[in-house]
Structure 1
Amino acid sequence: MENLGFGLTMTVLGMGLVFTVLALIWGMLNLLTRFDRPEPTAADEATPAPEAVLMADGQLTPDEVAAIAVAVAVHAAALRREAAPAMRSYWPGSLLFASRWVAAGRTRQNQSWQRRR
């Protein structure tokens, strides 16, 4: 029974130490992020409101056009991975055996175990 008490004491002390260190690290990270915030500059205050960014004739600004172009390119790349095999950059099933470790593990899973004699 004394071993059980010692084991429980060590468990509580160990877990308490781990969570105390995690809490200290969490607190230090929060403290560092508060001190690491950039100070606002005059250029940040001079940026216009989003409503005033439109050009005089209602057209999009070059920054907005660039952002839309990037979003469309990322969306097209995502759809290319889901498309038919003719559109894919790799054939379906070609990445199944990407490494020798994966191939060896799958081979072991698919073979039934037999005792050595």
Structure 2
Amino acid sequence: MENLAWGLQMTVLGMGLVFALLGLLWGLLTLVLVLDKEPVTKVSAETSNALAERIAAVAEEAVGAQVPERPSVNGLPADLVAAILVATMKHKLTLRRQAAPVMRSNWPGSQLFASRWVTAGRAQQNHSWQPRGK
């Protein structure tokens, strides 16, 4: 019973400490947000409109000058790189359907008495990676 009381006491103490520190952090962050506000400056409507018109005039002139370049990857057009990527991924998926000849126990199709699923299960059971005798 002593161990249970001590365990409950440590649990309450630990959780209380964690939540007290979380509350302290929450209070500190709230205090920092209150004290670290940017000063707000009053701007008249005329100044605001003049600034907006000046920015709009500069933007209208700059839009015609900005011609985006064709995206490229190492000098090749991006659509060509995407097509090459799709072709290589499709090729890899096609090759993954067959195991490499090094990993095969038997030639594909030589064990026609069982499906490939059954053969794979038998191979996994018979050719275990764990050392025998342990």
* TM-score class normalised by the smaller sequence: 0.3 to 0.5
Provide the TM-score with structure 1 as the length reference.
0.44
Work out which of the two has the higher radius of gyration on C-alpha atoms and give 1 or 2: 2
Provide the TM-score with structure 2 as the length reference.
0.39
